[in-house]
């Protein structure tokens, strides 16, 4: 078990404008998409029928722990001790709980679906109007939630309204049409199919199946254009590619810009 408090606090770098994927990796993602598609269907049956509940829970926890460490490393020391944080689309709330522990931060979560399972206060709301005042949080986090929102612009502007300045965005992203297709499949698979297995094994509440899936993904360049339109300054961009699975994840650290319209 890793100790999140021992993670370095200085990984965040400023690198907007870098080329993020090699052509070899981009090409490799094409056959990998087919292989992983077939593999995920096979794994559904294996996980459902052959893997005992405790073992499955252990595998899921291990992968969630690894993912949490990756996310925390990407943040570096962007969040300061004691700051107030709003985790928009907090899901089960476990990531928000880790943020609270790591930075001694005061974390609140909001979501539209209730499958909460962690020690942070979570509010459920209509998915349009964030139930907090302007500038009420030091940091806003949106972790893998923006691609679950059809009216992305509405919720994004709402999040900016509630942020004093800092915004952290984690997203799945794509560098080719085949990777775009794959991340849509992966989104359905990791939420609905894996969600179903977790429900059957009694590891997750049924609420997870109510999660909206409008697949509103963007490329890194697409996000850059969007941030510019919204007057956001990019502090850092970090892209990580899985070794074999054709998945690319991006973490943006942003702050409100000073441009006046
Ligand atoms: C893939 S989950 C990510 C959960 C969590 N942030 C994490 O990283 O583990 C996406 C979450 O976004 C939530 N969501 C979808 N639309 C939303 C909205 N308009 N406002 C807030 N949350 C929303 C979903 O209910 C879901 O819990």
Across the chain, which has 261 residues, the per-10-residue mean pLDDT values are 42 49 92 96 95 94 93 94 97 95 97 88 96 98 97 97 97 97 97 94 87 95 95 92 93 86 58
CB of 232 within 6 A of ligand 1: the answer is no
Is there a domain that residue 75 lies in? yes
Structure confidence at residue 13 (pLDDT) = 43
Q: Is the pTM of the predicted complex or chain greater than 0.85?
A: yes
Is there a domain that residue 56 lies in? yes
CATH number of the domain encompassing residue 156: 3.40.50.150
Is there a domain that residue 193 lies in? yes
CA-closest residue to ligand 1 atom 20: 127
Structure confidence at residue 120 (pLDDT) = 95
Give percent helix, percent strand, percent coil of the chain, each to the nearest 5: 45, 20, 35
Q: Measured between alpha carbons, how far is 189 from 33 in angstroms, rounded to an integer?
A: 13
Is there a domain that residue 14 lies in? no
Is there a domain that residue 12 lies in? no
CB of 85 within 6 A of ligand 1: the answer is no
CB of 212 within 6 A of ligand 1: the answer is yes
Question: Residues 20, 175: contact at Cβ < 8 Å?
Answer: yes
CB of 194 within 6 A of ligand 1: the answer is no
- Residue 256: exposure state from Cβ atoms within 10 A (0-12, 13-18, ≥19): middle
Structure confidence at residue 19 (pLDDT) = 56
| Cα–ligand 1 centroid distance for 93 (angstroms) | 10
CA-closest residue to ligand 1 atom 13: 89
Total domain count, the chain: 1
Is there a domain that residue 215 lies in? yes
Is there a domain that residue 7 lies in? no
CB of 127 within 6 A of ligand 1: the answer is yes
Is there a domain that residue 13 lies in? no
Domain that holds residue 48: 19-256
């Amino acid at each position: 078990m890793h100790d999140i408090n021992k993670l370095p606090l200085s990984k965040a770098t400023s690198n907007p404008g870098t080329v993020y994927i090699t052509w070899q990796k981009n090409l490799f993602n094409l056959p990998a998409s087919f292989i992983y598609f077939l593999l995920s269907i096979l794994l559904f049956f294996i996980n459902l029928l052959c893997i005992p509940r405790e073992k499955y829970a252990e595998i899921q926890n291990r992968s969630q722990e690894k993912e949490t460490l990756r996310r925390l490393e990407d943040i570096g020391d962007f969040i300061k001790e004691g700051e107030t944080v709003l985790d928009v689309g907090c899901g089960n709330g476990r990531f928000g709980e880790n943020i609270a522990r790591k930075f001694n931060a005061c974390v609140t979560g909001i979501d539209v679906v209730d499958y909460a399972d962690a020690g942070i206060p979570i509010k459920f709301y209509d998915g349009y109007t964030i139930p907090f005042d302007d500038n009420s949080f030091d940091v806003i986090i949106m972790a893998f939630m923006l691609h679950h929102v059809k009216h992305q612009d509405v919720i994004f502007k709402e999040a900016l309204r509630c942020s004093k300045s800092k915004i952290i965005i984690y997203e799945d992203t794509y560098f080719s049409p085949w990777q775009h297709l794959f991340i849509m499949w992966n989104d359905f698979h990791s939420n609905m199919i894996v969600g179903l297995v977790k429900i059957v094994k009694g590891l997750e509440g049924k609420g997870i199946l109510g999660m909206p899936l409008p697949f509103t993904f963007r490329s890194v360049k697409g996000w850059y254009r969007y941030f510019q339109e919204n007057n956001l300054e990019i502090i850092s961009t970090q892209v990580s590619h899985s070794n074999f699975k054709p998945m690319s994840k991006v973490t943006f650290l942003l702050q409100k810009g000073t441009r006046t319209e």
